[in-house]
Amino acid sequence: MLRRDDLDWAALEIFWGDERSVPPEDPQSNYRMARETLLSLVPIPAANVHRWPAELAPENAANAYEEELDRRLGNDGLDLVFLGIGDDGHTASLFPGTAALEVRDRRAAANFVPAFDRWRLTLTYVALEAARAVLFLVEGQAKAPVVRRLKDGEDLPASRVRSPETIWLLDRAAAGDTIP
């Protein structure tokens, strides 16, 4: 069993796949949730946590995050990207029918999501495909219909993620009738 003290926290760097366009203290902030439930409980150096500057205007935040990725990674990709999937097949903040799905010249983008009438910040397929591995974690019966759609070959944002290694971990409820 891996325990908190077994990790070399100073060797880890944490980036976000996406973020809502809200300040870091906002209840909807992914960073805030991660800080409160994980990061505040482990000895990771603050300099190794790379949050989206989501308090900036969306395009400025995306530009700043891309600069941070460039500064920290150079031309390399992330080692591991950990993703989920929404009921509509979105992953990160790559939502069906949105402009960020077509971004092929940068790693980070501001993405307006009409369904929410809100801006989101997201890694693009460029960043996801450069990762050494992508891990999808999907749980719960509510995800079974979208898992079925993916298995049936429907073109959804999550189905477009390609990396050298893409791993799907599903619990039985999410897998639904797609496994015996």
For 56-112, write each residue's pLDDT tens digit: 999 999 999 999 999 999 999 999 999 999 999 999 999 999 999 999 999 999 999
pLDDT given for residue 2 in this prediction: 57
| Opening angle at CA 69, ends 78 and 87, nearest 5 | 60
Q: Which domains, from first to last, does the chain contain?
A: 10-178 (3.40.50.1360)
Q: Which tops the pLDDT comparison, 24 or 163?
A: 24
- Which helix (H) or strand (E) segment is 66 a member of? helix 58-73
pTM of the model: 0.93
Question: Cβ atoms within 10 A of the Cβ of 90, count?
Answer: 25
Residue whose token pair is 């946590």:
49
Give me the residues paired with residue 93 across strands.
none
Q: What is the SS3 assignment for 152?
A: coil
pLDDT given for residue 7 in this prediction: 85
Q: Are 121 and 60 in contact (CB under 8 A)?
A: no
For 20-64, write each residue's pLDDT tens digit: 999 999 999 999 999 999 999 999 999 999 999 999 999 999 999
pLDDT given for residue 138 in this prediction: 97
Residue whose token pair is 């908190």:
4
pLDDT given for residue 6 in this prediction: 80
Residue 4 binned pLDDT confidence (cut-offs 50, 70, 90): low
With CA atoms as reference, report the closest residue to 30 among 40, 19, 39, 21. Answer: 19
Q: What is the SS3 assignment for 111?
A: strand
Write the burial class of residue 168 (CB in 10 Å: 0-12 exposed, 13-18 middle, 19+ buried). middle
Q: Are 90 and 116 in contact (CB under 8 A)?
A: no
